[in-house]
Structure 1
Amino acid sequence: KHFMLKEIYEQPQAIIDTVSGRINPETGSVTLPEMNLSDEDLTGIDRIFLVACGTSWHAALVAKYWIERWAGIPVEVDIASEFRYRKLLINERVLTVAISQSGETADTLAGIRLAKELGSKIVTICNVVGSTMTREAHGTVYTHAGPEIGVASTKAFTSQLAALFLFTLFLAEKRGTMDAKTRLELGKELISLATVIEKVLPVLQDEIKELIENYYDSRDFLFVGRGLNFPIALEGALKLKEISYIHAEGYASGELKHGPIALIDKDMPILGITPRDAVYQKSISNVEEIKARQGRLILIGTKGDDHLKTITDDVLYLPEVHEELNPILYTIPAQLLSYEIASRRGCDVDQPRNLAKSVTVE
């Protein structure tokens, strides 16, 4: 019916293709053949800048958590259109990583050219072989998502996350910040994630199709998440506004009391991302504050977490995976929710108004 739905269902394969051959299932060792940076280059990095636009920027926000935790390198995440207009404190000990589906995004391209002039090494995470960014970068990590026709990015995003997770393991291995046992465990979890997603997709779609009957005519929508899942709240909100034209905002759960909680009443739908993870208790406390103010809650959480059903009737359950990989898994219901709402509203899902697939102008 729509390319977007087809591409949502192609995500397990896109993740397999991105990870395939790059991680040794025996040792957890990561090989990135197009990296072209020496071990000396990689161990000499003091700081990393991740530069991207739109959905790719959300992938960068997740990668910041991963790289800082596992590779021990401070990371700054910049929106490309802002990055180039400030005084950049960049030198040869800084690595700049550009993330772009097309490899042609004008602002991101201008950003890496500037960083390169200042002495930074450049790596690009990209889906298009031979694109301008891959030609101008020192090294590339290709996502193997295949062509993406729908304007709203789905499989390109989850493939970027898979590639960035691989890049994190690669950096951690080169810098000696992660032991082989942990690397092997995380590598295996990443490989098996594709199967988990493949199994949950049809079930989730049926549940969401039914669920959205109470929500598809909303005027506004809030998405909230904490830690690694905060960028997924941003991504879920972006998808919904892109294709259904509903005004949607993503927030860090802890930010609600700093202003947005004023918006919450019996007419405001809120999607809360609440997996059983390191910040679970904090997330639950936040969604209970929303419930107390009569917000209309949809929760996405870990299978077997019956407590969520005491907060709202509208709960979507996902299998338990390693919490570092929750951002990839929890993206799936956010995409399907946006798709089903837009489809129910009769919107042109694949070609939303005013949007282009690749933004090649500034």
Structure 2
Amino acid sequence: MKSASSTTNEQHREEGKKADSAGNDAGENAGENGTPRYSVRYESSVTNLGSASAEYDQAQLKVYELSAGVILEQVIQHYGTDVPEGDDPYTVATIASSVDRCKESSGTEKGKGTEYLVTASDLAWNISPLGDRDFDQRCTDLVVVSATSSAVMAYDAEFAKKVRSPKVETEPETVEPPDFPGFEPDTDFSRWVHDQVFTEDIAEISAIFGTSTPRTYRRLTAAMTAIHGLPRFADRVREGEFTQAHVDAAADLCQTVAMRFLPRLDEYLSVRRADVTSEYFRTALRKKIQLLEPATDRAETAARRRRVDIDTFKDGTACLSLTGPAAEVNASFQRIQAMARAIYGSPDGPV
């Protein structure tokens, strides 16, 4: 027969277990709803909003991955790359690997034809007196080979049986994947997409997206820049550290950056703090790009992106926007402003 005190203790234990399990469930739910950028209070009113926003970011990134994969596969097939066996995917080098290969090849070409001449530190090991042409000798002329012994060793059959050369298994030769298709150090993904993607493919993708051809080009450029130009940054987006707003900012700024600078920008974004707004993120990334790119490259990019846009609104007004090099746009604005002041100050008054 159980006493009243033991019954009370058992009830307290059961209540404590229930409380612990409820606390554990709350902690697990909080961990599921939280992200590396923020944490949502358990049973908060914005829990569903946070989950839906995270799912939206991952869905947008998935669309970028599929778009970039389709475009890259079509470009690889256009270059005549061998079809892999079975279900194996096409394999090409990344942008970072292609940049490293380009640096190595340029360094090898610069080093061709150079000869290593003997220096004073090398001649310090030579016991012979210095001559007039010692500094023109090659290193191989300074190697001293000692005389070998003429004694012949007797053949030991028993020893020869015990000592056998081990069989060396030949390792299969690893074939390096080809460079990224259409890779050039000075090109960017904005030009790459326009040069490599066929018009027929753009028409099909435009029908899927429901967008015009220029807007489809921009979406594909952003996808290629984010997925293949900044792969480590894309990994952080998959982990939920950055949102789609950060992806749009990075793709917009890096799509006109030369491919030789993309690995360094990707390295910068791989350690960049994520708990910032997309506007602050854009400002910091723009400063980093300005430090990497020469001033001449920035001027050429701005001149290439020169355009004039006009937007008409329902209230009858319109907005004319000019995009181009800063110096030229500022000079144009000053001329328009001076013309407006001259018209305003005329005897007939403003028009």
Which structure is larger by alpha-carbon Rg, 1 or 2? 2
Q: Which has the higher helix share?
A: 2
TM-score past 0.5 threshold: no
Q: Name the TM-score, length of structure 2 as normaliser.
A: 0.24
Q: Which has the higher strand share?
A: 1
